Amino acid sequence: MLDIKFVRENPDVVKENIRKKFQDEKLPLVDEVIRLDKENREIKQELQTLQADRNRISKEIGKLMGQGKKEEAEETKKKVAEFAKRMEELAEKEKVVEADLKKNMMIIPNIIDPSVPIGKDDSENVEVQRFGEPVVPDFEIPYHTEIMEKFDGIDMDAAGKVAGNGFYYLMGDIARLHSSILSYARDFMIGRGFTYCIPPYMIRSNVVTGVMSFSEMDSMMYKIEGEDLYLIGTSEHSMIGKFIDTIHPEEKLPYTLTSYSPCFRKEKGAHGIEERGVYRIHQFEKQEMIVVCKPEDSPMWFDKLWQNTVDFFRTLDIPVRTLECCSGDLADLKVKSVDVEAWSPRQKKYFEVGSCSNLGDAQARRLGIRVKSRDNKKYFAHTLNNTVVAPPRMLIAFLENNLQADGSVKIPEALQPYMGGQKVITVK
């Protein structure tokens, strides 16, 4: 959410930003917000004036009564009552205007970074770098669920009977591989100086609306019936929520946290064959990283975060590339974002395995996460998040890049301690 003062003073900048995101339908919101803001300030001014007048006149009642001027005192009481009635009307109007103002402000997108490429959708994202050499072996690589099935490692039919489409049972070596990757990711991030955390897996609605846009909320979140609780779609929501309504001494920043959690997503809409299996599912596990820092430090942390993910995949011998998300592909709260994509030898192309985002002060403004400087000035922090790894999707890249001609899967050296020293998984 933007600062209302910024919108008031820079309406043309806000409108141009909306155009860059190809959301012209939101342009009228800017004028509506400015109108509501003006009305809100006028209401507050009138309330202050009435309050001062009522206090002043109220003091006169006692004097008039003391002077025996009862009729004048009664007339004065009527004026005070009229002031009180008008103030009550204004207070109710103020609630409505402020609610409308906040609702519209939360729909207006954040100001994107000047370095963000302009484009309508993800087809116009820009490749930044590649790491590792993409290899296509001289033997056929089966679809990822077929690879898992050869190890007796997945059962989606049984999961469909138990929970429906979009769920799975992982078993045996594949299940162990899944857990080993998460354990390795945890220790990898601890080694990078991040504090490990296991957060709540449910959050209240005020946290949900603080960390994401309404459109994301509707397409992603599962609501707990009869409770003000939602299942988290990613642990970053719960992790950023940890700081709600807090003020932090500047010298304690940054906070760097890495978190494990299960994640739950609706994943609305139809998807192609390459997004079946365990690519788009309703339940998965994830290792995440978040940073809460001073505004001037967020660009530096943004680069560090996505580099962590790249380094993690490189230790597992998986080629990756980074893509700068264009303006039309950015969620409304984001200032800047990079997707990390892993190489798929079967598809002979890259596919997304993680996303790194700088949200500026948008989440902090919504959630009330502030910083106190050494001279006691208060300002909103910046928040960032990034995926370390999100199996089982990551298993697709892992299995394809480590599959051998005989059907076995080699275990990279970094992961072997988490697999009990196992160097290869053989077909059952």
Q: Which residues are tagged catalytic?
A: 265, 280, 352, 355, 393
Spatial CB neighbours of 275, under 8 Å, sequence gap ≥ 6: none
Q: CA–CA separation, 345 vs 175, rounded Å? A: 22
Beta bridge partners of 343: 350
Q: How far is CA 295 from CA 116, 185, 203, 247, 298, in A?
A: 18, 27, 26, 15, 6
Amino acid at 420: G
Q: Is the peptide bond before 254 cis (omega within 30 degrees of 0)?
A: yes
Identify the helix (H) or strand (E) that includes residue 53: helix 27-66
Residue 331 · residue 356 · CB < 8 Å? no
User: ∠26-30-36 over CA atoms, to 5°?
Assistant: 125
**Pairing relation of β-strands 255-264 and 195-197?**
parallel
Residues 302, 304, 305, 311, CA torsion sign: positive
Give the CA-trace dihedral at 105, 107, 113, 119, to 10 degrees.
-150
**How does DSSP classify residue 269?**
S
Query: Structure tokens of 416?
Result: 């072997």
